[in-house]
Chain A
Amino acid sequence: MSVKSRILFVIIGCVFLCALGSGYALFHYKKQRFLNAKADVAEAAAKLPASAKDGAKPPHVRGSSSATVTLEEFGDFQCPPCGDLSGVLQKLEQDYGTQLRFVFRQFPMPMHLHAMEAARASEAAGLQERFWEMHDLLYQNRFAWPRSHDVRADLIGLAKSLGIDVDRFEKDMNSQQVKERIAADQLRGRSLGVDRTPILFINGRELPVSALNPPGLHAAVDEALTAK
């Protein structure tokens, strides 16, 4: 074998090892981070009082009160997978109609700079009976408002487009009531071991991340329906 051939095969070998090594390192890092976060959250959840499980009252519910299946989501308006999932969940609600009830819980992640402000905006809209409209609008416009140089002005603009009383909305965004509702949902999340978003529970059972897609969710809802 010539020197040129040897060099080429060494390069090819190096690329193979790099691809394999970086893939393994990334896999190991992600798995470890997931396990550590899970352990930390479980430890913290064990120290919380039993009342922490209640969450904000009343919760934001969409769907029939007599539905057999309750799907509870812990979401963050600035998290990309939550945004991707919002369309999937809307389709799921349409597919199952009165058999499915959807509950949304606030779980803004600290790493998302504007998630808390968006959560407050949705709660402030909720105080004017427009929570779900604001929820849908925040996800539909998720590529616009987080990138704005004035996020608050964008959120107010969204509220205005829904015909919300803007003066009251602005006041409510900073109100204690709104902050307490978000804190209560976060506390419920922590008591249930929620460490990231989106996390979904079907009739109180946490779904694995691998099920957060149309076939996985349909299978989980069907299973919950047949279990009843």
Chain B
Amino acid sequence: MSTTSQVADATRARPTLYVTAAVLSLIGLADSVYLTVEHLVGENAGCVVARGCAEVLGSNYASIGPLPIALIGALAYFIAFSLALLAAFDYRRCELFLLLLVQAMFAVTLWLLLVQAFVLHAFCDYCLLSAAVTVLLTVTALTSQIIRSR
């Protein structure tokens, strides 16, 4: 295959990557909305796989003042969805904003994972799902940027 056609294939893959990022953001949004509701109702979501929902979701790290962290997450996922969708349809400026946003989300996710592992010594299913979504979002956004820069 010639270099020109390889570049053309890679360019065609970019919208697909952004659509994938939009779908991932929707999964993260649903997860965060559910956790926000549980927090506001005052219920403790039960874990099925991990064993520390009560410890993690009930800890001081689950909110910043009166604001549940899940609500901030929902907002971030919604913005990520919007930017990914616009980027998929060639809004170039949104690509940069998306990259910056997912990098910030990745940093927060990493911090929250460290808190779960070394401070709380417990993990929760919903937080791990959100972490997995954020990691995939970061990989998707970075891959798309690498393709663009070629």
Contacts and interface: CB of A to CB of B under 8 A. Distances in A.
Interface of A: 4, 8, 11-12, 15-16, 19, 22-23, 26-27, 30-31, 34, 79-81, 83-85, 87-88, 143, 208-210, 212-216
Contacts, number: 89
Contacts of A213: 44, 54-55, 57-59
B78 A84 contact: no
A34 B37 CA distance: 13
Interface stretch (B26-34, B97-105, B138-146): B26-34
Contact of A15 (B51, B52, B81): B81
Contacts of B49: 143
27 contacts: A8-B86, A12-B82, A15-B29, A15-B78, A15-B81, A22-B33, A23-B74, A26-B37, A27-B37, A27-B41, A31-B41, A34-B41, A79-B46, A80-B46, A80-B47, A81-B46, A84-B52, A85-B44, A85-B54, A87-B55, A87-B122, A88-B55, A209-B42, A209-B43, A210-B42, A212-B54, A215-B60
A22 B29 CA distance: 11
A215 B62 CA distance: 12
A208 B33 CA distance: 22
B58 A215 contact: yes
A84 B41 contact: no
Closest 5 CB pairs of A and B: A213-B58, A80-B46, A84-B54, A210-B42, A81-B46
A199 to B, nearest CB: 12
Contact of B51 (A22, A23, A84): A84
Contacts of B34: 26
B78 A81 contact: no
Contacts of A215: 58-60
B110 interface: no
A208 B46 CA distance: 16
Judged by DSSP, the binding face of B is helix
B89 interface: yes
Interface in B62-89: 74, 78, 81-82, 85-86, 89
B29 A19 contact: yes
A84 B55 contact: yes
A26 B60 CA distance: 24
A23 B57 contact: no
Contacts of B89: 4, 8
A225 B43 CA distance: 26
A209 B53 CA distance: 13
B109 interface: no
B130 interface: no
B115 to A, nearest CB: 13
Interface centre among B44, B45, B122 (most CB of A within 10 A): B44
A137 to B, nearest CB: 15
Nearest to A196: B43
Given A87-B55, A88-B54, A30 B43 contact: yes
B48 interface: yes
Nearest to A34: B41
B54 A8 contact: no
Nearest to B86: A8
Given A19-B74, A23-B36, A143-B48, 12 more contacts: A12-B85, A15-B82, A19-B33, A22-B33, A80-B53, A83-B51, A84-B55, A88-B54, A88-B55, A213-B54, A214-B55, A215-B58
Contacts of B33: 19, 22-23, 26
A16 B85 CA distance: 13
